[in-house]
Amino acid sequence: MERIQRPRGTYDVTPEEAPRWQALEARIRHVAARFGFGELRTPVIEARELFQRTVGETTDIVQKEMYVLTPPGSDRQLVLRPEGTAAAVRAYLENGLHNGPQPVKLFYIQPMFRHERPQAGRYRQHVQFGAEIFGAGEATADAEIIALAMTLFAELGLEGLEVHLNSIGCPACRPRYRQALLEYYRPRAAELCADCRARLETNPLRLLDCKVPADQPHKAGAPRTVDYLCQDCRAHFDELQSALDALGIAYRLDPGLVRGLDYYTRTVFEIKYGGLGAQDTVCGGGRYDGLIELLGGPPTPGVGFGMGLERLLLTLEAAGRPPGARRPLDAYVAVAGQVPRTRVLALVQALRHQGLAVDMDHVGRSLKAQLRAAGRLPVRYAVILGDDEWARGEAAVRELASGQQRRVPLGELAAVLRPAGADAAAETRGSAEVDRA
Ligand code: ATP
Ligand code: MG
């Protein structure tokens, strides 16, 4: 029979790779909690209009990358969530979080779906760690959002990340900038790529986002958003820089940075890692002061980021700092003779209750085959239960690395098998893994 394969641009996480994700997610939850962010989980499917209205009709996400679903018998189209911020705002309003104490600080770790050309660090389903602060317009909130990302990187042992920072102004100052941009680009229209010629009419700010090599010289001479900021936007941008200075976070002012989504106001930023090639942006975000109103809420400022976790894992790999390895078993229980398997299972279960990682044979293999299977696992001890041992209430405990074997009364098994330095209570505490990492 022909095998069915996973869709292009997607991947499986095998048990070998899962611990990296688990350790990364645990670290994220740990840092986010210390910054006062609560976790939000939203559906994978959302109304199509949610992103059309917010991300913008003329953006790549909405024009080319959304997976659109037409459920049977329905004329209301759904999409697979392409980005997290609009969904977070929808949930904030729909659950009445805007009526409670403000600001509201939310984070999520969720898959996003974009139909783009798959390549290293670019998938059709990818996971983002996103963080949003709703209801704080002050520049210290922008600084805190950037600090959250940078703290996570530091705790993962990552260095060499660069914060690129810009301000793109607000509805008060952007029209003047847009005008200047049009005056600069119109005479050059014939030399621009087809996409940029279209952008000239639909979304001139995105001219600065063009990646086509032939268009780069034009970009270099284009007017800069920072030269057109109104007084309030200028003050906000200056204050953000002071706050980052106070936090000791280095940044590079990048006047050409505009970012792909329509809803950004004032602050935009990206955090890049040099070693990743073309897909070097690990985190992108900014301020979106009009977005909540645009989705029918009260005027509420907001700021946030999205961080691609596949790219972050690639970065950690490249930096030689992979997070978390699979927990090895403490013991593999091998059974021989007439020892009742149900009693052995109960023994294994009792050891697990005491915080140990234990497995056993279920398929009736010979003792030799069981020990061979144990030898292939990452496991410290084989616990051998034959008729003789069982009759005496004992087990033979073999340390696989050294081959040393001794008899241990069943009542003392847990103490003997427990890895040095671990106590039973710590194994069941949620943060134990994180604190030791
Ligand atoms: P890019 O310019 O690389 O396409 P973007 O501007 O589309 O990124 P955002 O929408 O800001 O990206 O998403 C936030 C982060 O999510 C990115 O910085 C990146 O780390 C990650 N990301 C975005 N698209 C993908 C993808 N297709 N595969 C993997 N990670 C992605
Ligand atoms: Mg993109």
What is the token pair recorded at 13? 């996480």
Nearest CA to ligand 1 atom 16: 308
User: Above pLDDT 70, what percent of the chain?
Assistant: 96
Q: In Å, what is the CA distance from 20 to each residue of 13, 128, 130, 317, 436?
A: 10, 15, 18, 10, 15
306 close to ligand 1 (CB < 6 Angstrom) = yes
281 close to ligand 1 (CB < 6 Angstrom) = yes
User: Strands of 38-39's sheet, edge to edge?
Assistant: 38-39, 104-113, 125-134, 302-308, 281-287, 265-273, 161-167, 251-253
Q: Is 14 annotated as a binding residue?
A: no
Nearest ligand 1 atom to alpha carbon 279: 3
Q: Which of 286-295, 361-370, 421-430 has the highest mean pLDDT?
A: 286-295
82 close to ligand 1 (CB < 6 Angstrom) = no
CA of 264 relative to ligand 2 center, distance in Å: 15
Check whether the bond before 103 is cis (ω within 30° of 0). yes
- Residue 374's Cβ-side half-sphere holds a number of Cα atoms within 13 Å equal to 31
CA-derived radius of gyration, the chain? 28
The ligand minimizing its distance to the Cα of 10 is 1
209 close to ligand 1 (CB < 6 Angstrom) = no
Position 431 scores a pLDDT of: 35
Summarised one tens digit per residue, pLDDT across range 350-407 is 999 999 999 998 888 999 999 999 999 989 999 999 999 999 999 999 999 999 999 9
Rounded CA separation 379/406 (Å): 17
Given a cut of 60, is residue 289 above it in pLDDT? yes
Q: Is 263 annotated as a binding residue?
A: yes
Q: Which of 114, 128, 163, 287 to mutate to test the pocket of ligand 1 (most atoms within 8 A of CB)?
A: 128
Position 275 scores a pLDDT of: 67
- What mean pLDDT is reported for the chain? 92
Give the pTM.
0.87
- Write down the architecture of domain 18-173+229-318 according to CATH: 2-Layer Sandwich (3.30)
User: Strands of 68-69's sheet, edge to edge?
Assistant: 45-47, 78-80, 68-69
Q: Is 407 annotated as a binding residue?
A: no
Rounded CA separation 153/31 (Å): 10
For the four alpha carbons of 332, 338, 342 and 343, in that order, the dihedral sign comes to negative
Nearest ligand 1 atom to alpha carbon 282: 20
Q: Pick from 356, 296, 351, 377: which is nearest to 15 by CA?
A: 377
The ligand minimizing its distance to the Cα of 121 is 1
Q: In Å, what is the CA distance from 69 to each residue of 44, 48, 55, 91, 205?
A: 12, 9, 18, 21, 30
126 close to ligand 1 (CB < 6 Angstrom) = yes
Position 429 scores a pLDDT of: 37
- Give residue limits of the domains in the chain: 18-173+229-318, 329-436
Q: Is 270 annotated as a binding residue?
A: no
Given a cut of 80, is residue 178 above it in pLDDT? yes
C-beta of residue 177 within 8 angstroms of C-beta of residue 214: no
For 329-436, CATH number out of 3.40.50.800, 3.90.50.10, 3.90.1150.10, 1.10.3210.10 equals 3.40.50.800
Summarised one tens digit per residue, pLDDT across range 99-150 is 999 999 999 999 999 999 999 999 999 999 999 999 999 999 999 999 999 9
Rounded CA separation 426/190 (Å): 67
Q: Is 273 annotated as a binding residue?
A: no
How many separate helices (H) and strands (E) can be counted in the chain? 17, 16
Q: Is 20 annotated as a binding residue?
A: no
**What's 179-231 look like in SS3?**
HHHHHHHHHHHHHCCHHHHHHHHHCHHHHHHCCCHHHHHHHHCCCCHHHHCCH
